[in-house]
């Protein structure tokens, strides 16, 4: 039967309807089976997180207190947990527990959450290894950050399942060994950070396979010496390459020219050699190049001039030669550092047209010619150092035209002419060193009064004129050095208002008139050199405020009057030269109390008997030229005459006294022999480092329990009063059978302290070696004991308010700065701690205990390591404990811990801290959390701390004033900088001293 058209249409509509119904049913089934696992997954995530918190995490601060059961069985509002928001199914996609003071092993069970893509555990106390099959559970992750923890062992293997991993940060742990080959098989990886571990294998070439990589940070690892693999050039997407401090040797591969996206190129602090390749021109996106502290040679590639985006170039501390070409000088650098190389030639004038230039460091090269006249005219120069070259001509007039110049150092050149007048209004200027040139004329009047200047060195030029009264302007001035010029006139009394002055050198000028009596009010003065002038009148007599003065030189003047007896009361005076004046009177016996390294009173008009303490051949050269001095038997001085009647009676009295006293002397000697067991102990060797009167027996006989004041690992310490009345501290080292290192401790202590003179370093008076092989170190006695005892002891032993603590910090910093920067070669203390900082009766600090100190370059092995770990728990720099590498930055870290101890009043490993935490970790975490919570600002919107925040850190026994809080904030910022985990980020001790005395140190910023 034939179907009608209408029948066929009905049949098609029915078929279509059945198809729609079937499709709808299928879709509903798919949705059910898709969302059911997600719902079950969300519920499973909730259970997993609770289990991990209970079984695998230690949370001493209760930061995860909200990880608790709830009615909705949802973790999405828990701290550090992020859930999927688009689908609304509540599955966990990210966990961020960074900086929460958590501990434990690696929490593998987090990775059982199938939807987890991001896991961040950085800046905590997680430890142990990260290996084994359990880690494969994390293969679904796209982001993994476990940096700044305490993981050990080899780097975790990454199975092929990690194909979607894009970000991997394992930096700042204690991982060792090689970089696994599996790391070269991560096709999606865009960021790899492994820096600051203990990786000691080679830098593998397979890293060049990571074609998606934009960031590669593997610096500061003790890799085996080797070249930078040329395969790195395959990473055409790379934007940051940081391989500093990684034992790189050989030449920079030319393949780096293929890194066209690179913005930051850092291979500093290695041993790279050869030339900088011309292929560097390929880095067309580069903004910063850091190649300092290598062994690079050859000329600066002209191709650098093609890098139009380059803003910061640091090639310092290499052996580069040739000239700075005009093409390179056209680059608009904001910072150009070519210092400490072998460059020569003139500086192209085009450099001055750069509108971006802020920092120019060309010092210690062989540049010649004139500086570009317009330097500073077109840009806001901040830091300008061209010292140690052969520049000639005038200084550029516009160096401070933009009013931003803070540092100008042009010393040791051949500059001539007058100073630029624009410097007179440069209110931003802080540090001026223009010494050893041929500059002449009068100093621009405004320069004397620039208020921000704290260091002014114009010595050894041809300046003339007077010091103006405006010298009182720079109230923070610490060093005034103008020796070797033609300055004249009187010294203005306004100089006495500069209470922060520590070094004054006005020597070898034409100054005249009387010395201002108020100069003795400069209580922070350490060095005063005024020799070689025309000063007249007496030496000011009231010198007791000079408690820090170590050097006084007033020689070659026309001074008259007597020598002030109060000079003998100056506690740390070591250098006294008053020679070639017209001083008269007798030599004050009080001067014999000084422990002088240099003593010169020669060529004056002194008369009378030479005091007993100076009546020795050692002092002859410092006494000659005074024809009216006499001595009992010191040649070439005439004998002091006595009236005959007195001599006659003495000659009669002596035999009579001898006859009467002889039996008593016999009895005394026999009794003494009996007391000492029949034969007194004798001292077989004495080494004097200071002039002091003593005898063997008064030291040996007083080493009794009654005089014992302390005992440590190296021996006992005794408090002994000499017959002269002087109190000394005697350290008797243990027998070598008890401690085989005693001999080295004794020798190092004598070698270092015996030849160091500084007001904040304890004075070693002399050493003794007795017949019984006892080794004695005799020091000046410190009335208040150690800083550790005073800081952590009962308040009645002497409470340290904040001003005292601040002064102790400055004094200790000055001692370390002297060891690091003034001693040649430098000395590293290696055991800086509060127990090794002694306090005198005025709470002035003295750095002590140099038994493990090391002289750099003489006692380090070829790889820079020391023979054994020295230091005290809590004070040891992290890199020192693991590698035994030691330099000045190790002391800087320890000093930073001391600063934190002064602020908090807590020992470095105080039990008050939670497990696996010390004062550095505690304060750093508090700082980061506080600044983060406040948006890096205080309640006024200004950068810094709030007093309420600081109060949580400050020793509760203190009651700081608002001014004290400002000072504490400054010291805290410095302490955090000193305790930076990376040595390169720590300031030098010289810089620390400057910062401690600076009133404008800004808030702490993480690097």
Reported as a single tens digit per residue, the pLDDT across 854-912 is 654 434 333 344 444 455 778 888 876 555 567 788 899 999 999 999 998 888 887 77
The Cα 766–Cα 178 span in angstroms is 52
**Which of 87-91, 349-353, 475-479, 945-949 has the highest average model confidence (pLDDT)?**
349-353
732 has a pLDDT exceeding 60: yes
* Mean pLDDT value across residues 913-917: 69
The answer to whether the pTM exceeds 0.75 is no
Is residue 856 within 8 Å of 825, Cβ to Cβ?
yes
pLDDT of residue 959: 82
Query: How far is Cα 734 from Cα 994, in angstroms, rounded to an integer?
Result: 40
Angle at 917 between CA 911 and CA 921, to 5 degrees: 125
Rounded CA separation 570/370 (Å): 48
Interval 380-384 mean pLDDT: 94
- The answer as to CATH 1.10.510.10 being correct for domain 786-997 is yes
Task: Decide: 303 and 280 in contact? Cβ < 8 Å.
Answer: yes
Q: What is d(CA 248, CA 791) in angstroms, rounded to the nearest whole number?
A: 46
Q: Quick one: which H or E segment has residue 14?
A: helix 5-55
Q: Please count the other Cβ atoms lying within 10 Å of the Cβ belonging to residue 312.
A: 17
| Residue 738: cis peptide before it, omega within 30 degrees of 0 | no
Domain positions in the chain are 58-199, 642-680, 683-780, 786-997
Please compute the mean of the pLDDT values over residues 113-140 and round it to a whole number: 91
SS3 261: coil
Q: How far is CA 716 from CA 551, 700, 712, 751, 910, in A?
A: 33, 13, 6, 20, 26
Instruction: Retrieve residue 307's tokens.
Output: 């890098």
Given its phi and psi angles, is residue 298 left (phi above 0), alpha (psi -120 to 50 degrees) or beta? left
Of the candidates 483, 449, 433, the one whose C-alpha atom is nearest the C-alpha of residue 463 is 483
Output 699 or 219, whichever has higher pLDDT. Answer: 219
Q: Which pLDDT does position 617 carry in this prediction?
A: 85
Quickly state the pLDDT bin for 31 (edges 50, 70, 90).
very low
Q: What is the rounded distance in angstroms from the CA atom of residue 872 to the CA atom of residue 878?
A: 12
**Which candidate, 276, 275, 220, 278, places its Cα nearest to that of 248?**
220
d(CA 36, CA 20): 24
Indicate whether 199 pLDDT > 80.
yes
Burial of residue 504 (number of CB atoms within 10 Å: 0-12, 13-18, 19+):
buried
**Structure token pair of residue 133:** 């099959």
CATH topology of domain 683-780: Phosphorylase Kinase; domain 1 (3.30.200)
- State pLDDT tens for residues 639-672: 988 644 544 444 555 655 555 565 555 444 444 4
Q: Active-site residue numbers?
A: 831
Binding residues for ATP: 731
Q: Is the pLDDT of residue 935 over 70?
A: no
- High-pLDDT (> 90) share of the chain, %: 55
DSSP state for residue 500 in the 8-state scheme: T
First to last CA, the chain: 91
**The CATH fold of domain 58-199:** 3.80.10
Q: How confident is the model at residue 497 (pLDDT cuts 50, 70, 90)?
A: very high
Which pLDDT value is given to residue 798? 65
Lowest mean pLDDT among 66-75, 635-644, 841-850: 635-644
Query: CA–CA separation, 9 vs 14, rounded Å?
Result: 9
Mean pLDDT of the chain: 83
> Over 80: is that where the pLDDT of 750 sits?
no
- The sign of the dihedral angle between the CA atoms of 816, 818, 819, 825 is positive
Q: What is the predicted pLDDT for the residue at 207? A: 96
Question: What is residue 464's three-state secondary structure?
Answer: strand
Q: What are phi and psi of 557, to 5 degrees?
A: -130, -160
Q: What is the pLDDT of residue 665?
A: 57
Closest CA to 924 of 976, 984, 987: 976
- Residues 554, 558: Cα–Cα separation, whole Å: 10
Residues annotated within a binding site: 731
| 12, two tokens | 């098609």
Q: Are 462 and 434 in contact (CB under 8 A)?
A: no
């Amino acid at each position: 039967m034939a179907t009608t058209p209408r029948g066929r249409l009905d049949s098609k509509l029915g078929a279509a309807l059945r198809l729609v119904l079937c499709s709808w049913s299928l879709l509903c089934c798919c949705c059910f089976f898709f969302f059911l696992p997600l719902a079950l997954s969300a519920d499973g995530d909730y259970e997993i997180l609770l289990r991990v918190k209970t079984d695998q995490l230690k949370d001493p601060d209760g930061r995860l207190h909200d990880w608790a059961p709830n009615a909705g069985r949802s973790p999405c509002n828990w701290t550090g947990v992020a859930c999927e928001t688009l689908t609304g199914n509540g599955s966990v996609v990210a966990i961020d527990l960074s900086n929460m003071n958590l501990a434990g092993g690696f929490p593998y069970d987090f990775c059982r959450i199938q939807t987890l893509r991001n896991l961040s555990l950085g800046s905590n106390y997680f430890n142990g290894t990260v290996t084994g099959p359990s880690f494969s559970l994390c293969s679904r992750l796209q982001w993994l950050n476990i940096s700044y923890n305490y993981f050990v062992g080899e780097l975790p293997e990454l199975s092929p399942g990690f194909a979607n991993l894009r970000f991997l940060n394992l930096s700042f742990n204690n991982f060792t060994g090689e970089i696994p080959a599996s790391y070269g098989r991560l096709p999606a990886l865009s960021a790899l950070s492994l820096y600051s571990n203990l990786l000691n294998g080679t830098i593998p070439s397979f890293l060049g396979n990571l074609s998606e990589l934009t960031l590669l940070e593997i610096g500061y690892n003790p890799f085996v010496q080797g070249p930078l693999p040329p395969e790195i050039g395959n990473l055409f997407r790379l934007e940051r390459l940081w391989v500093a401090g990684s034992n790189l040797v050989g030449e920079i591969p030319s393949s780096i020219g293929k890194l066209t996206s690179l913005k930051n190129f850092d291979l500093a602090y290695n041993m790279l050699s050869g030339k900088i390749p011309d292929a560097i021109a390929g880095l067309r996106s580069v903004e910063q190049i850091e190649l300092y502290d290598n062994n690079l040679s050859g000329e600066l590639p002209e191709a650098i001039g093609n890098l139009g985006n380059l803003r910061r170039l640091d090639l310092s501390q290499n052996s580069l030669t040739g000239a700075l070409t005009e093409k390179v000088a056209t680059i608009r650098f904001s910072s150009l550092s070519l210092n400490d190389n072998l460059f020569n030639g003139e500086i192209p004038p085009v450099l001055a047209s750069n509108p971006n230039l802020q920092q120019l460091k060309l010092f210690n090269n062989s540049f010649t010619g004139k500086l570009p006249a317009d330097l500073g005219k077109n840009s806001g120069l901040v830091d300008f150092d061209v010292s140690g070259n052969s520049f000639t001509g005038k200084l550029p007039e516009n160096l401070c035209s933009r009013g931003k110049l803070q540092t100008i150092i042009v010393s040791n050149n051949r500059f001539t002419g007058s100073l630029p007048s624009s410097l007179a209004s440069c209110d931003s200027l802080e540090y001026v060193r223009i010494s050893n040139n041929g500059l002449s004329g009068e100093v621009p009047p405004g320069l004397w009064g620039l208020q921000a200047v704290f260091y002014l060195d114009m010595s050894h030029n041809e300046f003339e004129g007077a010091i103006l009264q405006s010298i009182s302007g720079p109230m923070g001035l610490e060093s005034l050095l103008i020796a070797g010029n033609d300055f004249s006139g009187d010294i203005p009394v306004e100089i006495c208002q500069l209470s922060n002055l520590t070094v004054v050198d006005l020597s070898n000028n034409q100054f005249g008139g009387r010395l201002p009596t108020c100069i003795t009010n400069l209580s922070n003065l350490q060095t005063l050199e005024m020799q070689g002038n025309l000063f007249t009148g007496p030496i000011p007599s009231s010198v007791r405020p000079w408690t820090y003065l170590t050097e006084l030189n007033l020689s070659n003047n026309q001074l008259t009057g007597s020598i002030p007896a109060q000079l003998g009361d100056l506690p740390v005076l070591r250098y006294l030269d008053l020679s070639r004046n017209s001083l008269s009177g007798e030599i004050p016996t009080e001067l014999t109390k000084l422990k002088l390294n240099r003593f010169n009173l020669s060529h004056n008009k002194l008369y009378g008997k030479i005091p007993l303490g100076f009546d020795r051949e050692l002092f002859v050269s410092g006494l000659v030229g005074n024809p009216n001095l006499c001595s009992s038997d010191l040649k070439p001085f005439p004998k002091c005459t006595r009236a005959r009647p007195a001599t006659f009676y003495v000659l009669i009295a002596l035999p009579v006294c001898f006859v009467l006293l002889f039996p008593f002397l016999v009895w005394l000697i026999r009794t003494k022999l009996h007391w000492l067991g029949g034969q007194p102990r004798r001292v077989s060797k004495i080494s004097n480092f200071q002039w002091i009167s003593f005898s063997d027996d008064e030291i040996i006989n007083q080493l009794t329990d009654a005089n014992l004041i302390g005992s440590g690992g190296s021996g006992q310490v005794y408090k002994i009063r000499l017959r002269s009345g002087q109190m000394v501290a005697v350290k008797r080292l243990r027998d070598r059978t008890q401690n085989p290192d005693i001999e080295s401790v004794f020798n190092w202590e004598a070698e270092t302290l015996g030849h160091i003179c500084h007001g904040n370093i304890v004075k070693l008076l002399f050493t003794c070696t007795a017949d019984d092989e006892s080794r004695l170190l005799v020091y000046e006695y410190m009335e208040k004991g150690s800083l550790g005892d005073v800081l952590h002891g009962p308040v009645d032993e002497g409470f340290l308010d904040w001003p005292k603590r601040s002064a102790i910090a400055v004094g200790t910093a000055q001692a370390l700065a002297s060891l690091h920067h003034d001693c040649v070669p430098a000395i590293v203390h290696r055991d800086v701690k509060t127990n090794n900082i002694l306090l005198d009766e005025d709470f002035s600090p003295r750095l002590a205990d140099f038994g493990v100190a090391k002289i750099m370059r003489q006692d380090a092995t070829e790889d820079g390591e020391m023979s054994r770990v020295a230091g005290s728990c809590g004070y040891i720099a992290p890199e020192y404990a693991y590698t035994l590498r030691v330099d000045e930055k190790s002391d800087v870290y320890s000093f930073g811990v001391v600063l934190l101890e002064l602020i908090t009043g807590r020992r470095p490993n105080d039990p008050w801290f939670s497990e696996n935490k010390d004062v550095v970790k505690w304060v750093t975490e508090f700082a980061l959390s506080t600044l983060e919570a406040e948006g890096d600002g205080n309640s006024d919107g200004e950068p810094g701390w709030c007093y309420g925040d600081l109060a949580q850190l400050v020793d509760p026994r203190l009651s700081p004033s608002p001014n004290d809080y400002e000072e504490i904030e400054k010291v805290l910022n410095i302490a955090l900088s000193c305790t930076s985990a990376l040595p390169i980020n720590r300031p030098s001790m010289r810089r620390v001293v400057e910062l401690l005395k600076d009133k404008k140190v800004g808030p702490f910023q993480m690097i």
